[in-house]
């Protein structure tokens, strides 16, 4: 069964892989002295979320921990990851959190792919006074007005997704579509969890602020077996641009039924999760997804590494070399970069100073260290800096320097097209030969 | 009639065709063996993987992959009966349900181990049919026709063959038929094999419409059970008709309201049906 890159032994090993680096590091690298520093890593390694980005998120974190240990850990103390598979189910995520905090007695858990998990988990972490370090879940609602003290999110939040897609449309409407921004009709479809509703609300708010009409805004379940009625309604409303927020089975189902249902548009913009898996989308739809767009933090390979802070480009290259050696993906998804980058930020900028300062890694010491982090823009492999909003603010715990970009697909690769200052010109509307192009 | 509403109605009927086949298979097994295969959607999922593997990895022609899928899942149905159901035939129903529920997780886990969690696609598409302002998916229409043919063949088998008559007789009276010379164990085996083959046929129809992944059963499994109960568990014609009712409610309800609203209507209708006719909408 190696034809698909997996053997039974290999997959069983993957679950335990993150517990191995400590011992491997002792054998291979300079991280030799002292007790291991135990860090939880919770992702969805099974269930629908695994194929929608959670698996590469885990792989990215795996590379970060291996590399950190090879480079000596924290003064010789290696990091030992304690892994948990939340199986794409919120109840399993809660049980696993109880295990990690109760039985494993961890002070910090990193990861958390889904906002549907992050929302219930965040309150429990706060109650337990243990650190939750979110590397993926983006719903603004996870942090907004909660005033959490132990929950941190170095990555972007859903409001930034809405700002990204609507700004990209507004900035290019006149030049590319020959329409004033307030004449561009939008159709918004989204999965009905916190992630989808959070991004859709942000899209709506940003569209309203620019007087852009939304002709259809509708939620659906990501496990829905059929979306053809939604396609029919979109066809009736004739949006110029469709904005979708979804995972993976729903995205491919929608694209397939949109094509057979005769839905045509000038542009389709996705918003992370399933839309970040360009390898998979290209495998399924080939050239049909060419020139469609996605909003997300930039995958590191999209950036010009020479423009990052000194040393960060080298780190990005090391990550990419290792990741691609392990996982043969032509264009590693954003989640791979997110997994590495946000775990690396924790290890390098939070764990190391906390341990050095206190000799241990209590949640309070980690929290103090997190609030001191001050990484300038260009200081991480995804291009953004890190500075957490302090307690007492509506978005306490959010990285205020995180950046979402709009990227466009072309032949299985992604390129940044917004912010305009960072990217290349967007191709809009979809070229006439595209299967979904409005005629 | 509004052409878009008409399109939604047609979509609902086509969707009903997709739901109908697994509902038929599930009802056949329940009607004869009196055990609910909680893992039925996962048998379909295994069949979808079989088609995907044979077509995209082994390079078989698609129709050969389809033809091979039916016996593969049929054998799986046989094994399920022999290894899991038969030892529990005299056990309380809850034990049987839990056992087949265990098979559900076993199959999901096994497929995850073998194929990982990636979403797999055949990459096969048929051009849509455009009738006036109405678009009809060629893939869905072909699947619908295949479902009708499959249902007709099943009906003919049950109606015109000796074994089919025995199956119907056992379904009607499990106690008396053995006294008349019918070997129930043999009939159970045949019903399980036919139920498995129907899951295989459903897999062929679904694999061209949905991506394959270990949890794809979540997309259609719960609604299939609902359809079976609504039509009357064990009542094949009832389940078949209920599938179309459910397809139309989901599609037209989604057109008038929202996609989420349509499922509220569908589940509301289901609850009312169960209250009004506890043995199913089409119970005699």
Percent of chain B with pLDDT over 90: 45
CB contact under 8 Å between B215 and A48, yes or no, is: yes
Q: Identify which of A45, A229, A235 has the shortest CB distance to residue B259.
A: A229
- What pLDDT was estimated at residue B283? 72
| Contacts with B, A 112-151, CB within 8 Å | none
pLDDT at A366: 97
pLDDT in tens, A90-146: 999 999 999 999 999 999 999 999 988 999 999 999 999 999 999 999 889 899 999
For residue A220, give the 3-state DSSP assignment: strand
Which member of A8, A229, A252 has the closest CB to residue B8? A229
Q: What's the rounded Cα separation, in Å, for the pair B205 and B15?
A: 11
Mean pLDDT estimate for chain A:
89
Q: What span, in angstroms and rounded, lies between the C-alpha atoms of A5 and A18?
A: 19
Task: Tell me what the mean pLDDT of segment A297-301 comes to.
Answer: 91
Residue B284: what pLDDT? 65
pLDDT band at B281, cuts 50/70/90? confident
What's residue B168's pLDDT?
85
Nearest to A55 among B117, B123, B128 (CB): B117
pLDDT at B30 over 90: no
Contacts of B108 in chain A (CB under 8 A): 46
HSE-CB for B31 with a 13 A CA cutoff: 32
The whole-number pLDDT of residue B170 equals 82
Instruction: Please spell the DSSP secondary structure of A134-166, one letter per residue.
Output: ESS---GGGTTTT--SSEEB-S--HHHHHHHHH
B58 in contact with chain A, both atoms CB, cutoff 8 A = no
Q: How many residues does chain B have?
A: 284
Mean pLDDT, residues B96-124: 89
User: From the list A12, A51, A256, which residue is nearest B118 (CB)?
Assistant: A51
C-alpha to C-alpha distance for B242 and B226, rounded to whole angstroms? 9
Of residues B166 and A154, which shows the higher confidence score? A154
Distance from CA of A42 to the nearest CA of B (A): 17
Report how far Cα B266 is from the mean position of its chain's Cα atoms.
18
A280 vs B: CB within 8 A: yes
Contact B38, B104 (CB under 8 A): yes
**What confidence score (pLDDT) does residue A14 get?**
40
Strands in A237-379 per DSSP E: 241-245, 267-270, 293-296
Q: For residue A30, what pLDDT is reported?
A: 42
Cβ–Cβ gap B135/A257 under 8 Å: no
Q: Residue ranges per domain, chain B?
A: 18-216
Residues A356-383: tens digit of each pLDDT: 999 889 999 999 999 999 999 999 999 9
Contacts of A117 (CB under 8 A, 6+ apart): A86, A90, A93, A137
Query: Residues A258-269: pLDDT tens digits?
Result: 998 889 999 999
Contact A151, A134 (CB under 8 A): yes
- Chain A CB contacts of B109 under 8 Å are 46
Distance CA B48, CA B53 (A): 9
Residue with tokens 């961890």: A106
Tokens of B23: 């509902």
The alpha carbon of residue A246 is apart from the nearest alpha carbon of chain B, in Å, by 14
**pLDDT score recorded for residue B280:** 84
Residue A210 has pLDDT above 90, yes or no: yes
- Strands in A131-134's sheet, in edge-to-edge order, are A79-85, A37-43, A108-111, A131-134, A151-152
Give the pLDDT score at A241.
97
- The stretch B161-172 carries a mean pLDDT of 85
The mean pLDDT value for A209-216 works out to: 96
What confidence score (pLDDT) does residue A333 get? 86
Burial A98-121 (b: 16+ CB within 10 A, else e): eebbeeeebbbbbbbbbbbbbbeb
Q: Mean pLDDT throughout B74-101?
A: 92
Scanning B93-122 for CB atoms below 8 A from A yields 108-109, 112-119, 121
Say yes or no: A218 contacts chain B, CB-CB below 8 A: yes
Tell me which of A13 and A401 has the higher pLDDT. A401
Q: Give the contacts of B247 (CB within 8 A, at least 6 positions apart).
A: B12, B13, B14, B15, B16, B17, B18, B19
Instruction: Provide the mean pLDDT of chain B.
Output: 89
Task: With beta carbons less than 8 A apart as the criterion, state whether A385 and A379 touch.
Answer: yes
For A75-89, how does the pLDDT look when each residue is reduced to its tens digit (9 = 90+)? 999 999 999 999 999
Q: Rounded mean pLDDT of A222-227?
A: 88
B45 touches chain A (CB under 8 A): no
What DSSP element (H or E) covers A217?
A: strand A214-220
Q: How many CB pairs under 8 A join A and B?
A: 135
Q: What is the pLDDT of residue A26?
A: 36
Count other Cβ atoms within 10 Å, centred on residue A210. Answer: 14
Query: Hey, is A209 helix, strand or coil?
Result: helix
- Whole-number pLDDT of residue A33: 58
Give the closest of A218, A226, A236 to B250, CB-based: A226
pLDDT at A7 over 90: no
Which residues of chain A have a CB within 8 Å of the CB of B128?
259-262
What is the chain A residue with the closest CA to B121?
Answer: A284
Cis before A429 (ω within 30): yes
Specify the pLDDT at position B185.
87
Strand partners, A416: A407
pLDDT at A22 over 60: no
Element (DSSP H or E) covering residue B131: strand B129-131
State yes or no: cis peptide before A183, omega within 30 of 0.
no
Identify the CA nearest to A131 among candidates A331, A303, A363, A286. Answer: A363
pLDDT at B139 over 90: no
Cα–Cα distance between B24 and B30 in angstroms, integer?
Answer: 10
CB A162 within 8 Å of CB A190: no
Within 13 A of B195's CA, how many CA atoms are on the CB side?
35
Question: What residues does A111 pair with on adjacent strands?
Answer: A42, A134
What is the pLDDT at residue A28? 36
In chain A, the domains with their CATH numbers are 2-156+302-372 (3.40.50.2300), 159-296+405-418 (3.40.50.2300)
| Tokens 């295969």 found at | B37
Q: How far, in Å, CA of A93 to CA of A121, rounded?
A: 8
The token pair at A311 is 């040393």
d(CA A216, CA A236): 10
Inspect the interface and report whether the beta carbons of A283 and B250 lie closer than 8 Å: no
| Residue B146 to chain A, least CA–CA distance (Å) | 18
Range ranked top by mean pLDDT from A282-296, A343-357, B246-260: A343-357
- Suggest the residue from B117, B224, B261, B262 to mutate for an interface test with chain A (most A CBs closer than 10 A): B117
Strands A37-43 and A108-111: parallel
Per-window interface: B 170-209 vs A, CB < 8 A: 209
Q: Starting at the edge strand that comes first in sequence, how are the strands of the sheet with A267-270 ordered?
A: A214-220, A186-191, A241-245, A267-270, A293-296, A405-410, A413-418
ipTM associated with this complex = 0.87
Task: Give A228's contacts in chain B (Cβ within 8 Å).
Answer: 11, 15, 137, 140, 251
B213/A261 touch (CB, cutoff 8 Å), yes or no: no
Band of the pLDDT at B1, cuts 50, 70, 90?
Answer: low
Residue A82's closest CA among A125, A133, A37?
A: A37
Task: Report pLDDT for A186.
Answer: 97
Q: How far apart are CA A120 and CA A99, in angstroms?
A: 15
In this prediction, residue A11 carries a pLDDT of: 37
Alpha-helical (H) ranges within A75-193 are 90-98, 115-128, 158-172
């Amino acid at each position: 069964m190696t034809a698909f890159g997996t053997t039974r032994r290999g997959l069983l090993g993957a679950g335990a892989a993150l517990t191995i680096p400590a011992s491997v590091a002792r054998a291979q690298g300079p991280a030799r002295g002292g007790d291991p520093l135990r860090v939880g890593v919770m992702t969805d390694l099974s269930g629908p979320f695994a194929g929608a980005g959670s698996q590469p998120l885990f792989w990215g974190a795996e590379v970060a921990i291996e590399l950190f240990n090879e480079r000596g850990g924290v003064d010789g103390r290696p990091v030992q990851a304690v892994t948990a598979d939340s199986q794409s189910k919120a109840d399993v995520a809660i049980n696993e959190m109880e295990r990690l905090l109760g039985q494993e007695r961890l002070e910090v858990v990193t990861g958390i792919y889904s906002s549907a998990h992050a929302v219930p988990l965040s309150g429990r972490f706060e109650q337990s006074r243990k650190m939750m370090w979110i590397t993926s879940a983006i719903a603004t609602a996870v942090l907004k007005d909660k005033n959490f003290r132990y929950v941190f999110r170095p990555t972007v939040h859903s409001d930034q997704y809405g700002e990204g897609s609507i700004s990209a449309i507004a900035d290019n409407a006149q030049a590319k579509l020959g329409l004033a921004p307030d004449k561009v009709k939008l159709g918004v479809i989204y999965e009905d969890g916190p992630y989808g509703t959070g991004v859709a609300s942000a899209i709506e708010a940003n569209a309203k602020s620019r007087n852009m009409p939304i002709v259809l805004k509708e939620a659906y379940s990501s496990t829905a077996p059929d979306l053809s009625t939604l396609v029919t309604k979109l066809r009736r409303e004739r949006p110029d641009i469709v904005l979708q927020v979804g995972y993976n089975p729903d995205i491919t189902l929608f694209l397939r039924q949109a094509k057979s249902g005769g839905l045509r548009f000038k542009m389709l913009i996705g918003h992370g999760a399933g839309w970040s898996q360009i390898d998979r989308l290209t495998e399924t739809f080939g050239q049909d997804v060419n020139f469609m767009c996605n909003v997300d933090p930039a995958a590191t390979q999209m950036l010009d590494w020479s423009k990052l802070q000194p040393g960060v480009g080298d780190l990005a290259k090391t990550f990419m070399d290792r990741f691609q050696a392990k996982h043969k993906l032509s264009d590693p998804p954003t989640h791979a970069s997110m997994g590495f980058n946000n775990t690396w930020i924790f290890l390098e900028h939070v764990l190391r100073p906390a341990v050095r300062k206190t000799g241990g890694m209590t949640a309070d010491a980690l929290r103090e260290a997190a609030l001191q982090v001050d990484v300038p823009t260009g200081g991480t492999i995804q291009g953004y800096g890190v500075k957490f909003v302090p307690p007492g603010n509506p978005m306490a715990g959010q990285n205020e320097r995180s950046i979402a970009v709009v990227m466009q697909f072309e032949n299985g690769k992604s390129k940044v097209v917004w912010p305009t200052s960072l990217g290349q010109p967007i191709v809009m509307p979809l070229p006439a030969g595209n299967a979904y192009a409005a005629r | 009639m509004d052409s878009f509403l008409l399109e939604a109605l047609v979509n609902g009927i086509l969707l009903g065709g997709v739901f109908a086949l697994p509902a038929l298979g599930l009802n056949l097994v329940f009607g004869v063996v009196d055990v609910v295969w909680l893992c039925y959607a996962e048998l379909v999922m295994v069949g979808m993987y079989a088609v995907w593997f044979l077509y995209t990895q082994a390079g078989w022609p698609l129709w050969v992959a389809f033809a091979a899928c039916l016996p593969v899942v049929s054998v799986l149905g046989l094994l399920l009966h022999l290894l899991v159901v038969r030892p529990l035939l005299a056990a309380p129903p809850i034990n049987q349900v839990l056992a087949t529920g265990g098979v559900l997780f076993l199959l999901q886990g096994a497929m995850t181990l073998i194929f990982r969690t990636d979403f797999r696609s055949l990459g096969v598409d048929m051009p849509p049919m455009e009738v006036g302002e109405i678009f009809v998916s060629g893939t869905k229409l072909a699947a619908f026709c295949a479902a009708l043919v499959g249902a007709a063949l099943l009906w003919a088998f049950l109606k015109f063959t000796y074994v089919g008559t025995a199956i119907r007789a056992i379904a009607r009276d499990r106690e008396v038929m053995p006294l008349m010379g019918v070997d129930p164990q043999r009939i159970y085996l045949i019903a399980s094999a036919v139920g498995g083959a129907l899951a295989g046929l459903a897999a062929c129809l679904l694999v061209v419409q949905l991506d394959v992944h270990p949890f794809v059963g979540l997309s259609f499994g719960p609604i299939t059970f609902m359809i079976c109960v609504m039509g009357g568990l064990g009542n094949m014609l009832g389940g078949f008709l209920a599938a179309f009712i459910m397809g139309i409610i989901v599609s037209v309800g989604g057109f008038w309201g929202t996609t989420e609203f349509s499922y509220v209507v569908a589940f509301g209708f289901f609850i009312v049906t169960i209250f009004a006719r506890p043995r199913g909408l089409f119970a005699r």
